[in-house]
Amino acid sequence: MIQRVSYALRETLANFRRNVTLSVAAVITSAVSLLLVGTTFLIQRAFDNLLVQWKGDVGMIVFVRPDVQPDALAFIEQTIKSQPNLVKTEEVEYLDKTASYEEAKRVFAGDPTTLSLLSIDTIPTQFKVVPSTTDPELVRSLASQFRGLPGVSGVALAEDEFEVISTLSGFVRTVTIGMSLVLLAVAVILIWNTIRTAIFARRREIEVMKLVGATDWFIRVPFILEGLVQGLVGAIVSCGGLWALNSAWTNGVAGFKAGTGVSALVVPSGYTTGVMVSLLVIGALAGGIGSGVASSKFLDV
């Protein structure tokens, strides 16, 4: 068994060396495509941070003072829900201090100064309101009505803040996902072609192997491993690139003035690690599948 493993590894390495240019091309292509896939994930996550407050058609947020009295809070809720013509009353959602603080952690991910000023006791709680009318004037007048209520510290409107970004986010997602899929397909085709060339270069050896009774899997495994390694090396390179990009971006954002909104466009490092692990898995799978298909297609008995 150990002998077979060492045989497979030796052959994989030998193939890689025999075919340096093609292998390098395959690695670079998979690295670039995976980097794009990873960037897509991160951009999407950054936009999500920015928009987390406005998920699910929320059009208006009514912020409530942290020191509000329970009867004042009840009155605010009652007032909001007394407008069934303008507000989807069943979708009005109240975020208490804990929930609001969790959300703030994402909104101010890149702005630790602001975040440190907030605590679970000092954070405003909030009502998320989904308007049922599309008329912006009506929503505005509703907002100014809520602003006057005792205990309300402010009202924010989606159309003022993030509608443009929301649209932009959708567009960027479509473009980057499309591009990365095309590049990933190119990477798989390149790996497939590398394996085909490797098989052609070793056809005499393979012929002898078959005649002396090597099993198909024994012949195939080094080729599949080669493709898998190409995909994996590409993925490792792309992880390095992603890490560099993300830290450059995070440092850049830290230089913006606090409270400009851009500060939310930062991705927590735990999430980045998750993306990198996915890239490694995608790279290995793409390489393994490309070479697996090629080796079964070109190694037929």
Partner 1 sequence: MIRLENVSKMYGNETPAVRDASFDVAKGDFVFLVGPSGSGKSTLLRLVNRQERPERGNVWVAGRNINELPNSQIPFLRRTMGNVFQDYKLLANKTVFENVAFALEVIGKPRHLIAQQVPQVLDLVGLAGKEDRFPNQLSGGEQQRVSIARAFVNRPFILLADEPTGNLDPATGEGIMSLLDEINRTGTTVVMATHDHRVVNAMRKRVIQLDRGVIVRDQERGVYE
Residue numbers at the binding site for partner 1 (CB under 8 A): 3-4, 7, 204-205, 207-216, 218-219, 301
CB of 3 to partner 1, least distance (A): 6
**Least separation, in Å, of the C-beta of 7 and partner 1?**
7
Cβ-based nearer residue to partner 1, 217 or 252: 217
Q: Which is nearer to partner 1, 5 or 120 (CB)?
A: 5
CA 231 to chain centre: 20
CB nearer partner 1, residue 61 or residue 219: 219
**CB closer to partner 1, 14 vs 118:** 14
Burial class (CB in 10 A: 0-12, 13-18, 19+), 56: exposed
Nearer to partner 1, 115 or 219 (CB): 219
Whole-angstrom distance, CA of residue 299 vs CA of residue 18: 19
How many Å apart are CA 8 and CA 13, to the nearest integer? 9
Residue 292 Cβ vs partner 1, minimum distance, rounded to whole Å: 17
In eight-state DSSP terms, residue 131 is B
Number of neighbours of residue 59 by Cβ within 10 angstroms = 23
For residues 125 and 96, the answer to whether their CB atoms sit within 8 Å is yes
Which residues on adjacent β-strands are paired with residue 5?
none
